[in-house]
Each structure stands twice: as C-alpha cells, then as structure tokens.
Amino acid sequence: MDFNNKFGNCPIYYTISKIEGKWKWVILYKLCKCSVLRYNRLWEELQPIAHRTLSKQLKELEADGLVHREQYNEVPPRVEYSLTKDGETLAPILNLMSEWGAQRINQEILGLE
C-alpha cells in the first residue's frame, strides 16, 4: 500500500499536505496579522525568500483556497493578497504556534531550557 492510500484520509496528513513548505506558514501568519498585503511588502517582510519561491507558494495557497489574490489593472500593476474564509480558520492555530515559539525563544534567552 502506498503512502497516499494509507494516510490520504488522515486529517493531519490532509492539513499538512495543504500547508507544507518552508514559507507557507509564515505567509499565512503575515496575512493573518496584516489582513491585506501587496506582493512587494510581503516579499520585503519575508526576506531572504526568493521572488520565485514566494510566487510559487502564493499560487499553491491560492489554488488550495487559503489565499485570495486581487489584481488591479493599473500602471504600475498592483497585486494584493489576503486570507480567504478558509484561510482565516487557520488563525487560531497560527496564533498558538506564535505563542508557543515566543515562549520557547524566551526560555532559551533566559537559559531555562
């Protein structure tokens, strides 16, 4: 039995398959905190991410229905990203992950590991 047949119906595997990737969690978290971000602002926030990587991750998140892309036909072109309703449902998880990380960082700084 292959991996997808064995774990394809697992809710954890399904969730991870939609948001796996080095940058997707951070992209979702930035959009959660800022509501709407233009592409260049998001790119600046996520340095050292490459344009190609950011573009690919955003396209995947959009295809999975977690991120909305709004393009304005202006000169110069303007593109804004925001979370969809489904993307917004990840906010509690993202906030808990942020809190967990902040606590661990503080413990390391204080040497309380």
- pLDDT(77) > 90: no
Binned at pLDDT 50, 70 and 90, residue 111 comes out as confident
User: Please, which residues bridge with residue 78 across strands?
Assistant: 72
Q: How far apart are CA 82 and CA 108, in angstroms?
A: 33
**Domain range list for the chain:** 22-110
Three state DSSP letters for 45-87? HCCCCCHHHHHHHHHHHHHCCCEEEEEECCCCCEEEEEECHHH
Domain 22-110 maps to which CATH number in 3.90.230.10, 1.10.10.10, 1.10.287.990, 3.40.50.11540? 1.10.10.10
pTM of the model: 0.86
**In the chain, what percentage of residues exceed pLDDT 90?**
67
Binned at pLDDT 50, 70 and 90, residue 9 comes out as confident
Q: Which residue has the higher pLDDT, 17 or 48?
A: 48
Q: Which residue has the higher pLDDT, 77 or 42?
A: 42
- pLDDT(93) > 60: yes
